[in-house]
């Protein structure tokens, strides 16, 4: 009824779609007390969907929120591994680091065309896939 009224009222816009996402957090070591479907979208009406997620407080919650952001904004992950970086304390040696980048999900296809050669893997304790690229140090000329 409210959506129909918004359609005919100046200055208001009717909703085309509404997705309600609920993230239930629980303490570490706590027992899950929720009943019902989790991590599944439930269509409540033609324009209203809801999804219930559960995450344990701490790193698992951070991982869940990152997954939801990637999904909501249609982002993808690329991890560049083995990047040598000099340490301030010991400038004579370097340590290798991995750096994760977030970007538009369609970037892999636009840059590479055929992404079948791209290695996708699941990072530890994460719910999303990342494309892994190995750092290659350019040769001096």
List, for residues 86-125, the tens digit of each pLDDT value: 877 776 778 899 999 999 988 877 776 666 667 788 877 7
For residue 111, give the 3-state DSSP assignment.
helix
Whether the Cβ atoms of residue 128 and residue 105 lie closer than 8 Å to each other: no
Number of continuous H segments (helices) and E segments (strands) in the chain: 3, 7
User: Which residues does 3 contact at the CB level (< 8 Å), separation at least 6?
Assistant: 14, 15, 47
- Please give the model's pTM, rounded to 2 decimal places: 0.72
Summarize pLDDT for 3-43 with one digit per residue, the tens: 888 888 888 888 889 999 999 888 887 676 666 667 788 89
As to burial, measured by CB atoms within 10 angstroms (0-12 exposed, 13-18 middle, 19+ buried), residue 130 is: buried
């Amino acid at each position: 009824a409210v959506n129909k009224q918004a359609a005919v009222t100046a200055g208001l816009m009717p909703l085309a779609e509404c997705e309600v996402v609920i993230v239930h957090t629980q303490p570490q070591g706590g027992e899950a007390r929720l009943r019902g479907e989790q991590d599944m979208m439930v269509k409540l009406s033609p324009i209203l969907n809801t999804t219930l997620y559960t995450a344990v407080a701490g790193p698992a919650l951070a991982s869940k929120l990152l997954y939801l952001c990637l999904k909501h904004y249609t982002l993808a992950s690329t991890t560049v591994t083995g990047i040598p970086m000099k340490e301030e304390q010991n400038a004579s040696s370097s340590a290798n680091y991995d750096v994760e980048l977030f970007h538009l999900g369609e970037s892999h296809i636009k840059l590479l065309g055929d992404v079948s050669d791209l290695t996708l893997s699941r990072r530890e304790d994460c719910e999303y896939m990342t494309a892994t690229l190995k750092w290659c140090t350019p040769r001096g000329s």
